[in-house]
Amino acid sequence: MAEHLDPARRLDQLIKGVADFFRIYPQDEAVKGVVAHIRQFWTPRMRADFIAASTPSGDALIEQARAFMRDHSA
């Protein structure tokens, strides 16, 4: 039986995985990579939930991607 996660927790896992993939790149490229991935593969609802999250992740790359998307009308 697959583990059932609430949507917010699942979103946290997804964004951490995306950030981990791009972490090997220089910071500015990593942020752009995370943002591009979210825009290309996530549903509008997932993107909106990510942008609207009020609890900081504690991860600078994730927070920079979130801020970029907020500032650039994801």
Instruction: Provide the pLDDT confidence category of residue 3 given band limits of 50, 70 and 90.
Output: low
Q: Residues with Cβ < 8 Å from 49, sequence gap 6 or more?
A: 7, 8, 11
Burial classification of residue 44, based on how many CB atoms lie within 10 Å of its CB (0-12 exposed, 13-18 middle, 19 or more buried)? exposed
pTM given for the model: 0.86
> Which comes out higher in pLDDT, residue 8 or 40?
40
Give the model's pLDDT for residue 74: 46
pLDDT of residue 55: 80
User: What's the pLDDT at 9?
Assistant: 85
Task: Please report which residue ranges of 1-74 form alpha helices under DSSP H.
Answer: 7-22, 27-41, 44-52, 60-71
Whether the predicted pLDDT of 72 surpasses 50: yes
Q: What is the DSSP letter of 3?
A: P
More confident residue, 56 or 71: 71
